[in-house]
Structure 1
Amino acid sequence: MRNWILCLCALAVVASISAQHYNRYDNFNADSIIQNERILLAYYKCVMDKGPCTKDGKNFKRVLPETLSTACARCSQKQKLVVRKLLLGIRAKSEPRFMELLDKYDPERANRDALYHFLVTGN
């Protein structure tokens, strides 16, 4: 469970950053975030409304719905690779937890097909 929480936090961070299409995040190192359990847990709690948010956490939480609902449409190619890597990692660790995140940000499941297509193809 602990590893899953870490991956979920990384997803939230990267997905949220990606939706903004900020150049400063083009060199984002997903692996270093995944390895820092304290930071990942903090982001997870933030995006799931289970804890306080930092400035970055608030931004991630704000853009996460768009990132998931558009399958990272506004992301650069590099950002898409990072988001896809993190989503697939989370899904591999815990399908139920992955679904919990998706259900929070896409409760009507209106965009699941597009998101799953993105996970399979990267587009």
Structure 2
Amino acid sequence: MKLFIALATLVVLAAGQNTYTSENDDVAEALISNPETLKVLFNCLLDKGPCDKTQTFIKTFMPEAIQQACAKCSADQKVILKKFLAGLKDHYPADYEVYKQKFDPENKYFVPLYKVIA
């Protein structure tokens, strides 16, 4: 019985790692909804400014999310990432290019990413 409980716990833990946690989704949505806070998030992601707890969380998974075409993102997180990229591109086009260069210098991740978040 103990072996069964241990195996069940491992399965649950492994399954939980297939997606990013959604605990900061509401805060992330608020960050990207305002051009000023969007710029603050951009500065955090590019090490140009300080990061709060939520921004640090976003910063930790962002490279993987881009490289893996948001494979671990929930449907809501895909929408948030799409809004983030669109907001950055619309409000700060030069920063968008800097962002793309940092996270996709070989220009091979953004095409698959945009297909997934479309």
- 1:9-48 matches, cutoff 5 A: 21-28=20-27, 30=29, 32-33=30-31, 34-35=33-34, 37=36, 39-48=37-46
Q: Secondary structure at the match of 1:101?
A: helix
Q: Counterpart of 1:101?
A: 99
Name the CA distance, whole Å, in 2 between partners of 1:116 and 1:94.
Answer: 18
Q: Structure 1 stretches of 5 or more lacking a match?
A: 1-18
| Alpha-carbon contact 2:69-2:113 (below 8 Å) kept | yes
Q: How many residues align?
A: 100
Alpha-carbon distance, 1:90 to partner: 2.3
Structure possessing the higher radius of gyration over alpha carbons: 2
Contact 1:20-1:63 at 8 Å conserved across structures = no
Match of 1:59 in 2: 57
2:8 corresponding residue in structure 1: none
- Give the TM-score normalised by structure 2: 0.65
**Deviation for aligned residue 1:74:** 0.8
Q: Hey, what's the Cα distance between the residues in 2 that align with 1:80 and 1:67?
A: 10
Q: What is aligned with 1:86?
A: 84
What residue number does 1:117 align with? 115
Distance 1:96 1:36 in 2: 14
Please tell me the residue identity of whatever aligns with 2:84. Answer: L
Letter in 2 for 1:116: Y
**Aligned partners of 2:19 and 2:72 also within 8 Å:** yes
% identical aligned pairs: 29
Question: Are residues 117 and 95 of structure 1, via their aligned partners in 2, closer, same or farther at CA, if it must alter by over 3 Å?
Answer: farther
Which runs of 5 or more structure 2 residues have no equivalent in the other structure?
A: 1-17
TM-score in terms of structure 1 length = 0.62
Question: Aligned partners of 1:86, 1:107: CA distance in 2, in Å?
Answer: 19
In 2, Cα distance between the equivalents of 1:36 and 1:59? 20
For 2:24 and 2:56, locate their aligned partners in 1 and report how far apart those are by CA, in whole Å: 16
- Name the CA distance, whole Å, in 2 between partners of 1:29 and 1:55: 11
